[in-house]
Amino acid sequence: MRGRYERGGRVGRGEREAVADGVRLYEAARAVAGDHARAVDAVRAALKPLHDAAVARELDALPVSRLQDVTEGRLRLGNVEKNGFGTVGRVLDAGAYRLRQIPGVGQRTADQALAAARRLAEAVHETVAVRIDVDRPEPDTTALVTALHVLVEAGPGARRAVDRAAALAERMGPPLAGAKPAVGRFRMLLAGQEKRARALAAVAEVRELTEEAAREGLPELFAQASVDLLRGPSSEVAAWVDFELRSAEYYSLLAEISGRLPDAAAAEGFLPEGIAERVRAQQLDDTHRRVSLRGYQAFGARFALAQRKVVLGDEMGLGKTIQAIAVLAHLAAEGQSHFVVVCPASVLVNWTREIEARSALRAVVLHGPDRHEAFADWKGRGGVGVTTYEALRGFPAPGGGEVGLLVVDEAHAVKNPQAKRSQAVALWAERCERALFMTGTPMENRVGEFRNLVRMLDAGVADALGGQGGPVGSVAFRKAVAPVYLRRNQEDVLTELPSLQRTDEWEQPSASDDAAYREAVYAGNFMAMRRAAYARPANSAKLERLREIVREAGENGQKTVVFSYFKDVLSVVKDALAAELAGGGATVCGPLDGSVPAARRQGIVDEFAAVPGPAVLLAQIQAAGVGLNMQAASVVVLCEPQIKPTIEHQAVARAHRMGQVRPVRVHRLLTTGGVDERLVAMLEEKSRLFDAYARRSAVAEADPDAVDVSDTELARRIVEEEQARLGAGDTSEGRPVPDRP
């Protein structure tokens, strides 16, 4: 028998060790999965009481009349409401027996009312989201934050480990089972020749899988993930501090674990099914990425990869930068080595920080006096070259296939095809196989401007949008542009975002305000009209209201950002607040305006965020309303209405964005009876156009150019109308001055 065994196949120490190594790897993979499952179960257990309480609050706020909606008006609930059961929650708590005690309510009515209430309760249970109040750390929310902290701290590495562990366990399980006879001599002696051959083949497969895992560093990955998943926070305070710093990651995990993800169609930008299906099939490699993605963000990255040249038009605050970095990381994993990001100078620092923090890629700043040396270094060594529109013009355009991806941030800045910056970007986009244009405002005044952006990416799609034969109306427009355009809105995909409260602060102008305004109108000076409310600070109605807002915010420990188009208005505000806050301990940062070097702008925002108590950041809206993140502020003040609605939206989105943990209050300071009233009416009309064409909308069909008015024409019209209203005589001589701050 011994001879037959030796001829059929010999098992020795090497085979036994190979199987033992495979078993250890298999058990490590299963341990990672178990550790992760326990961490997830801890989050679910902490979430349940908070979610149940949120459902109860929602049901207690629903009037009992909503039950008629569910039953199409068949229920008669007047007596139910009169007897103190005025909400759906109260009806559910009462139960059938208590409801039947109400005069006029029989068995059938009680049963129908309860059935309708349960249907509403099920809907609320599926849709209500838990919001974590950082200012009121109750025991239940603290338990949830600490449970989430384990998974957030473990980071993308743990998720990658769990995914790889699941795949390895699936592959390793069958050969380990087949290799069992090979772990002992007597089993092999008793096994038939065919069974011995299968066992040795299984051993070979186990050895191959183990060696492959070792080459990929999986044993170390699994061990580190288990350590991270078993390590709790150093303290509850540490968990809360980390939550405030990285709330977006906490909420992302919470949405995933709770299953309360945004509507799939909304997360996919309501793309046609054919395109959406192709995007879903696109793989996304996370090897070089150091941040987890939300579902809609992963879809956005896949969209850019699948469609190759696109506009990502997500609303401000949804993480377009993270999506771009995910695309860069994927392409780097595929072997691409050179990438370029083009952005405004104000966000150069932010881009380099994000690339280095969120990925393993090398960021190279191609800006400043040494930009050509830096460009040569980037050409030789590769990485992500981060440059500005102006600097890009000085670099030679790449050859075909040289640049893996061109990212153009705030791409609406290149909407004018006659501008040199636009021509430079267009040339680079033509020479690159992939291009990702990013903008939350793809169209400011007219659809034609958006068409110009699309032409740089896909001339065929652009042609389909133009002229008499183009699509008419927002629905047809969005369908035509779907191959190159993806947009999602905050309200559709960020269910946890704190509330945004907008208040128009209408002030009656003081006598001195009115006098300054009349002088500006008589002079035909549009820009002076816009800032007349601050021309005489001693008696400024707007300035007095601004002081009150800042004072109230400070008393509540809140930070405030004050935006104005005009540098001289910010100077007036700074003087007024310095006197107001003198001795109060509050800090005034800025002003952050166009004269501040790009590298310094992020530093000012960081200083503002680092102030431990109340603080005020003064910012010129053009310089700080784009790119910089100001989640530290929960109060926003707009000193005057802007000419474009997108300028206001961008400014507000600097604070009300993913990562904000407090409700945001926005105060727009306005004076009655003059240019502010006219601008507000115009902004509402421009917003309607933007909603119809750039956002998902069911607005009725309309001519895309119907409300287009250039800024100069708008200023001229308002000046003439105000001169006529105030009896300034011959309005033909009044001309607005150039639009300068």
More confident call, 613 vs 521: 521
pLDDT-derived band at 168 (thresholds 50, 70, 90) equals very high
Q: Which residues, including other chains, have CB under 8 Å from residue 101's CB and lie 6 or more apart?
A: none
Look-up of token digits 């990255």 = 301
Q: How far is CA 358 from the centre of its chain?
A: 15
- Say whether pLDDT at 637 is over 80: yes
- Which among 658, 302, 726, 700 is positioned nearest to 489, based on CA atoms? 658
What's the chain's average pLDDT?
Answer: 83
pLDDT for 332 beyond 80: yes
Give me the pLDDT at residue 736, please.
Answer: 46
- Beta-carbon-side half-sphere exposure of residue 449 (alpha carbons within 13 Å): 20
Residue 698 has a pLDDT of: 24
Residue closest to 445 by CA, chosen among 645, 217, 676, 720: 645
Q: CB–CB of 537/528 below 8 Å?
A: no
Q: Is the pLDDT of residue 190 over 70?
A: no
- Is pLDDT larger for residue 452 or for residue 683? 452
- Residue 445: pLDDT band by 50, 70, 90 thresholds? very low
Within a 10 A sphere around the Cβ of 45, how many other Cβ atoms?
12
CA dihedral 590→591→592→593, nearest 10 degrees, is -160
pTM value surpassing 0.75: no
Taking alpha carbons only, the member of 188, 212, 211 closest to residue 12 is 188
The residues, any chain, with a CB within 8 Å of residue 611's CB and separated by 6 or more, are 559, 587, 589
Numbered ranges of CATH 3.40.50.300 in the chain: 498-673+709-733
- 571-to-284, 510, 535, 577 alpha-carbon distances in Å: 49, 20, 11, 10
Alpha carbon of 721 to those of 16, 516, 521, 524, 724: distances in Å? 93, 17, 10, 11, 5
Helix (H) or strand (E) holding 5: helix 2-8
Answer yes or no: are the C-beta atoms of 443 and 449 closer than 8 Å: yes
As a whole number, mean pLDDT of residues 409-413 equals 88
Which of helix, strand or coil describes residue 500? Answer: strand
What is the pLDDT averaged over residues 95-115? 87
N-to-C CA span, the chain: 98
pLDDT above 90 for 277:
yes
- Rounded CA gap, 347 and 592, in Å? 13
pLDDT at 248 exceeding the cut of 80 = no
214/636 Cα distance (integer angstroms):
53
Q: How confident is the model at residue 729 (pLDDT cuts 50, 70, 90)?
A: low
What does the pLDDT average to over 42-60?
Answer: 92
Chain region(s) in the chain for CATH 3.40.50.10810? 262-492
| CA-closest candidate to residue 148, choices 50, 262, 295, 267 | 50
> What pLDDT is stored for residue 470 in this prediction?
47
Q: How many percent of the chain have pLDDT more than 70?
A: 85
269: left (phi over 0), alpha (psi -120 to 50) or beta: left
Q: Which segments of the chain belong to CATH 1.10.150.20?
A: 53-127
CATH fold of 262-492: Rossmann fold (3.40.50)
Query: Which residues contact residue 143 at a Cβ distance below 8 angstroms, ignoring those fewer than 6 apart?
Result: 46
Q: Is the pLDDT of residue 507 over 50?
A: yes
Which residue matches tokens 């990672």? 32
pLDDT of residue 496: 64
- The DSSP bridge pattern shows strands 635-638 and 338-343 to be unpaired
Q: Is 409 within 8 Å of 343 (Cβ atoms)?
A: yes
Residue 695 has pLDDT above 60, yes or no: no
Confidence of residue 733 (pLDDT cuts 50, 70, 90): very low
pLDDT tens track for 120-164: 888 888 878 788 887 778 899 999 999 999 998 888 888 889 999
Give the tens place of pLDDT for each residue, 578-616. Answer: 877 755 657 899 898 888 887 788 888 888 888 888 889
| Inter-residue contact 547 to 576 (CB < 8 Å) | yes
- Give the tens place of pLDDT for each residue, 387-401: 999 999 999 999 888
Residue 313: CB partners within 8 Å, gap ≥ 6?
Answer: 438, 439, 440, 442, 485, 486, 487, 694
**Tens digits of residue pLDDT in 542-558:** 999 898 888 888 877 78
Q: Among 370-379, 621-630, 691-700, 706-715, where is mean pLDDT lowest?
A: 691-700
pLDDT of 692 > 60? The answer is: no
Structure-token match 């993605």, residue found? 293
Is residue 411 within 8 A of residue 345, CB to CB? The reply is: no
Query: Does the pLDDT value for residue 626 go beyond 70?
Result: no
Question: Distance between CA 95 and CA 110 in Å, rounded?
Answer: 8
Residues in the chain: 741
Strand boundaries in 272-416, DSSP class E: 309-312, 338-343, 363-366, 383-388, 405-409
Specify the CATH architecture of the domain 498-673+709-733. 3-Layer(aba) Sandwich (3.40)
Quick check: 213 and 175 in contact, CB under 8 A? no
The per-residue pLDDT for 553 is 83
Architecture of domain 53-127: Orthogonal Bundle (1.10)
